[in-house]
Structure 1
Amino acid sequence: MDPTTDKSRAPRSDFYDGLDVKAKHPDNVVDHRPNGGPLLSLLWSKEPLNGQTLYLGGEVGSDGRIYCIPGHSPRVLVIDPETDEVTQVGPKELVSNGTKFKWLRGIPVGDVIYGLPCHASEVLRIHVPSQTVTKIPIPYEEFYEDPKIAKQQRKMIWKYHGGNICHDGCIYAVPQSAWHVLKIDPHTDTCSLVGPSLPGKYKWYGGVESGGSIYCVPQNSPHVLRISPEAITLHGDYGEGGHKWHGAAKSVDGTIVCIPNNVHTVLLITPDENEPTLTEIGDGSFIQTGRHRSDGKYKYLGAMAGTNGKVYIFPSGSEYVLEVDTRKNIARNVGPNLRDSGMERIFQNKWQNGLTNPHDDSVYAIPLSGETLLRIDCQNDMDPNGEGEVEVTTWPLPSPFETLDKWEGGVICANGLMYTMPNNCKAVLKIQPYNWKP
Structure 2
Amino acid sequence: PRRGLGADPSEPLDGAILAATGAIYGVLVRATDGGVLKIDTVSDVASSQLLSTDDGEQWLHLVSAADGSAIFGLPFSAQSVLKIVPFSGTISTIGPAFSGDCCRWRHGVVTDGGIVYAVPWLASSVLRIDPHSDQVTTLGGLGQASSSSGRWGFAVFAGGAVFGIPWSAESVLRVDISSDK
Q: Smaller-chain TM-score range?
A: 0.7 to 0.9
Residue number among 56, 66, 78 corresponding to 1:178 in the alignment: 78
Aligned to 1:221: 123
Deviations 1:216-242 (A, max 9, x none): 111111100101132100101111233
Shift of 1:122: 2.4
Distance 1:254 1:116, change over 3 A: farther
Greater percentage in helix: 1
Structure 2 residue 180 is the aligned partner of structure 1 residue 276: yes
Taking the TM superposition and a 5 Å limit, the aligned residue runs for 1:61-140 are: 75=1, 90-91=2-3, 95=7, 99-101=10-12, 103-109=13-19, 110-120=21-31, 121-138=34-51
Distance 1:195 1:92 in 2: 33
Aligned to 2:87: 187
Structure 2 residue 142 is the aligned partner of structure 1 residue 238: yes
List gaps (5 residues or longer) in structure 1: 1-74, 76-89, 139-152, 278-438
Aligned to 2:97: 197
Shift of 1:254: 4.0
Distance 2:55 2:88 in 1: 26
Q: Which runs of at least 4 in structure 1 moved beyond 4 Å after TM superposition?
A: none
Residue number among 254, 261, 264 corresponding to 2:167 in the alignment: 261
- Given the two structures, how large is their TM-score scaled by the length of structure 2? 0.84
Task: Report the count of equivalent residues.
Answer: 170
Question: Rg bigger for which structure?
Answer: 1
Taking the TM superposition and a 5 Å limit, the aligned residue runs for 1:349-360 are: none
Distance 1:182 1:93 in 2: 21
Shift of 1:170: 0.7
Distance 1:168 1:115, change over 3 A: closer
Taking the TM superposition and a 5 Å limit, the aligned residue runs for 1:275-354 are: 275-277=179-181
Distance 2:81 2:109 in 1: 14
Deviations 1:281-338 (A, max 9, x none): xxxxxxxxxxxxxxxxxxxxxxxxxxxxxxxxxxxxxxxxxxxxxxxxxxxxxxxxxx
What one-letter code is carried by the residue in structure 1 that aligns with 2:7?
Answer: V
What one-letter code is carried by the residue in structure 2 that aligns with 1:248?
Answer: A
Distance 1:196 1:168, change over 3 A: farther
- With CA pairs under 8 Å and 6+ residues apart, which has the higher RCO, 1 or 2? 1
Q: Any conservation in 2 of the 1:204–1:218 contact (CA below 8 Å)?
A: yes
- Given the two structures, how large is their TM-score scaled by the length of structure 1? 0.37
Q: Any conservation in 1 of the 2:129–2:137 contact (CA below 8 Å)?
A: yes
Shift of 1:263: 1.8
What one-letter code is carried by the residue in structure 1 that aligns with 2:63?
Answer: N
Taking the TM superposition and a 5 Å limit, the aligned residue runs for 1:247-258 are: 247-251=154-158, 253-258=159-164
List gaps (5 residues or longer) in structure 2: none
Distance 2:46 2:165 in 1: 34
Deviations 1:157-199 (A, max 9, x none): 1111202122471111000010011111111112111110012
Distance 2:72 2:92 in 1: 10
User: What is the RMSD of the two structures over their aligned residues, measured on CA atoms?
Assistant: 2.0
